[in-house]
A and B are shown apart, each in its own frame.
Chain A
Amino acid sequence: AIQLTQSPSSLSASVGDRVTITCRASQGISSALAWYQQKPGKAPKLLIYDASSLESGVPSRFSGSGSGTDFTLTISSLQPEDFATYYCQQFNNYPPPLTFGGGTKVEIK
């Protein structure tokens, strides 16, 4: 199964900072990658699909890039509501399994 390695596992940042989270796949997955935001006690919420497509209604400060094995989620100017845990997810193979990265917790500095 394809493995996803996210880094860092946690980070501390201030409001207004630029934040970058990376996700590395164990083999090439083209652009079949999504990013989610999860707040405590809530379900994950889709931010980015197809590696770089912004989901409708998601603020433009979120962006995704990459293809093949290396991917990045960037928050251009961190806002108070962005403190959460972020996960990547791949969908390159059929049939499943789907796989998720281990998560990156973004905390207030």
Chain B
Amino acid sequence: QVQLVESGGGVVQPGGSLRLSCAASGFTFSSYGMHWVRQAPGKGLEWVAFIRYDGSNKYYADSVKGRFTISRDNSKNTLYLQMNSLRAEDTAVYYCAKERPYYGDLYWGQGTLVTVSS
């Protein structure tokens, strides 16, 4: 049974940092590309970042480029999102998601809430 469990969310002040984790189980984590997608309160879905199965390539939305870093540890079956210089507009539920090869659809974790507020 595929499971993705996010953690690390919380309340942080503007300009602060936070690291999210996503623990994967039930599949061969090292074989799959992984995404972070966020959803601001009452809003739609926004893609944040992607990392290839082996960590060789990483891609970011323009809104987070230079501030967020996606990484993975395949030995620990864990995906990360390091978020620096946080802004109020980064407030959202952050989901990690496993990408189905070729078709590109996503299997989602349950999400973790990040609130940026003073």
B contact patch SS: strand
What number of B residues sit within 8 Å (CB to CB) of A?
A: 22
State whether A91 and B104 are in contact (beta carbons under 8 Å apart), knowing that A102-B44, A103-B44 are contacts in the complex.
yes
Residue A100 interfacial (CB < 8 Å): yes
Please measure, in the bound complex, the distance between the C-alpha atom of A46 and the C-alpha atom of B99, giving whole angstroms: 12
Interfacial chain A residues near B47, Cβ < 8 Å: 96-100
Please measure, in the bound complex, the distance between the C-alpha atom of A42 and the C-alpha atom of B95, giving whole angstroms: 11
Q: Which residue of B95, B105, B111 is within 8 Å of A89 (Cβ)?
A: B105
Please measure, in the bound complex, the distance between the C-alpha atom of A89 and the C-alpha atom of B104, giving whole angstroms: 9
State whether A96 and B103 are in contact (beta carbons under 8 Å apart), knowing that A87-B44, A102-B44, A103-B44 are contacts in the complex.
no
Which residues of B line the A interface, CB within 8 A? Answer: 35, 37, 44-47, 50, 57, 59, 61, 95, 99-100, 103-111
Which residues of A line the B interface, CB within 8 A? Answer: 32, 34, 36, 42-46, 49-50, 53, 87, 89, 91-92, 95-103
